[in-house]
Each structure stands twice: as C-alpha cells, then as structure tokens.
Amino acid sequence: MKAFVRIHALAMNTFREAIRNKLLYTLLGFGILMIGAGVLLATLSYVEVDEILQDTGMSAIRFFSAGIAIFVGIGLIHNEVDRRTIFTILSKPVSRSEFLVGKWAGLTLTVWLQLALMGLAFGAVSAVVGAPLAFDHVVAIALVGLELMVLVAIATFFSAFTTPILAALFTIGLWMIGHLSRDLRALGEQSDLGSVTTATEILFAVMPDFEVFNKTLEAVHGLAISMAEIQLAIVYALAYTVCTLVLGSMIFSRRDFK
C-alpha cells in the first residue's frame, strides 16, 4: 500500500511536469491539425471519402501520439538526474523500481490524456463531415493507447541508462521495427537459410509487435474487431510493458548518480 502511495505521488508529479512540456502541445496541435487536414485530403478523391478522412485521422493520432510518447519520455529520467531532483527522491524510502514505474505511469497518463483529446478531435471532424462513427473506432483508439503504454515503457527503459539523444534513436528504431516485425518474420520464413528464419523468429519474439494494436483498417472500413484480438492486445501490452520495466529497473538499480 505504501509503495502504491509513493508510485502514485511520483506518477502525478510526472504528469504535472509533462503537461507543462511545450513539445507536447506542439505535437498535439500538429496531430489535431492533421486530423482536420483529412477533410482536405478526402476532397481529392471521389470514392471512399470517409475512409480517406478517417484513415488520415487515425494515422495522425498514431504518429503524433507516438511522437509525444517518445520525445517526452526520453527525457524522463535524464532530467531528474540532470537537475538532481532524483537525489532527494531516492533519499526517501523509494526504491528505484518504484521511481521508474512512477515515471512510466505518469507519462502513460499524459499520453492517454492527449490521445483522448485527439480522439475527440477525430470524432468531431468525422461528425462534422458526416463520416460514420462506430464503437470500433473507440476500440481502435483504445488499442493505440495500449501501444503508447508499451512505447512509453520502452522510452523509460532507454531513459534509465542513456542520454536523451540515444534514447530517442533507440526508441524510434524500436517503434519502426515494431511496425515492421511481422514483415521481417514473413521475409525470414521465405528464406532458404534456416538460420535466417530462426534469427527473424527470435527477433520477432524479442522486438515489440506494434501491429497487434493497429486496428485502423478494421475501424475505418467497418470490419469487426474480435474480442480475441482485443484480449491478445491487452495481454501482449501488459506482458511487454512489465518485462521492459523489470529489465529497466534491473539496469537502473545498478546506476551511479555522480
């Protein structure tokens, strides 16, 4: 219970700090602008106007939310060390794991809040132009929320032991790989070399698979998102987040703060 109070305090403090980050508002602004710009893009086509509008909107949500998660997340720990606020925090009965989890929870809350705002903008634009809105749109956006949860965990992981620039590069790299890992595995399966197939299988197992959260196509084209897919996404997000944070805590607990 005491650990929960500490993590909650750290998370809320991280949230309060993150919502003061100007970068967050810049990316959020661009995201909402892009969602609105879907209206213009849709006018370029005579067919599937609603689909183009919503596809652009969902893509903007995923892209700019990821940007916020990465660029706010990479400085999470570094800023605390750089400003030495971590000294007073870790002198309290706060374990390094609690600190890491608190930072992750605070930023996840922040990106979920901005996701909700972008979701509202998406809904508003769709409603204004008369594009169909269904519960699957909400599900698809909620799954983006799970993707962001994992992405924040990865950003927190790298932030725990490296510089913001390297953390950004690594996190962006993993985000891109995470959206291509299924293609990589498919390529490996077609290889004549067993070692290549094995290597891509291992890579697929270790690297995040962000496509498990990508239900844009289904939502935009009115295809059903099954409960099994939702459950898989939830379990996958929780498992990957926990593993990443545990590994991050192990590295972070060995770190010296000079």
Under rule CB under 8 A, residue 22 binds other proteins: no
Task: Specify burial of residue 123 (Cβ count, 10 A radius: 0-12, 13-18, 19+).
Answer: middle
Q: Which is nearer to other proteins, 104 or 210 (CB)?
A: 104
In whole angstroms, give the CA distance from residue 9 to residue 35: 34
At its nearest, how many Å lie between other proteins and the CB of residue 165? 17
Residue 191 DSSP code: -
Cα atoms found within 13 Å of the Cα of residue 258, Cβ hemisphere only: 0
Which one of 61-69, 82-90, 228-236, 240-248 is the stretch in contact with other proteins (CB under 8 A)?
A: 82-90
| Distance in angstroms between the alpha carbons of the first and the last residue of the chain | 31
User: With contact defined as beta carbons under 8 Å apart, do 181 and 209 qualify?
Assistant: yes
Specify the 3-state DSSP secondary structure of 1: coil
- Positive or negative, the Cα torsion across 32, 34, 40, 41? negative
Under rule CB under 8 A, residue 4 binds other proteins: no
Which one of 16-24, 67-75, 203-211, 230-238 is the stretch in contact with other proteins (CB under 8 A)?
A: 16-24
The residue written with tokens 């972070």 in the block is 252
Which one of 12-20, 161-169, 194-202, 217-225 is the stretch in contact with other proteins (CB under 8 A)?
A: 12-20
At its nearest, how many Å lie between other proteins and the CB of residue 245? 17
Selected from 90, 129, 169, 172, the binder of other proteins by CB under 8 A is 90
Selected from 84, 128, 189, 191, the binder of other proteins by CB under 8 A is 84
Q: Which is nearer to other proteins, 95 or 197 (CB)?
A: 95
Phi first, then psi: give them for residue 220, nearest 5 degrees.
-70, -35
Under rule CB under 8 A, residue 258 binds other proteins: yes
Selected from 23, 48, 63, 87, the binder of other proteins by CB under 8 A is 87
Under rule CB under 8 A, residue 16 binds other proteins: yes
Task: Specify burial of residue 95 (Cβ count, 10 A radius: 0-12, 13-18, 19+).
Answer: middle
Q: Which is nearer to other proteins, 221 or 255 (CB)?
A: 255
At its nearest, how many Å lie between other proteins and the CB of residue 212? 36
Under rule CB under 8 A, residue 190 binds other proteins: no
In whole angstroms, give the CA distance from residue 106 to residue 159: 14
The residue written with tokens 């289904």 in the block is 218
Name the residues that contact other proteins, by CB under 8 A. 2, 5-6, 8-10, 13, 16-17, 20, 83-95, 254, 256-258
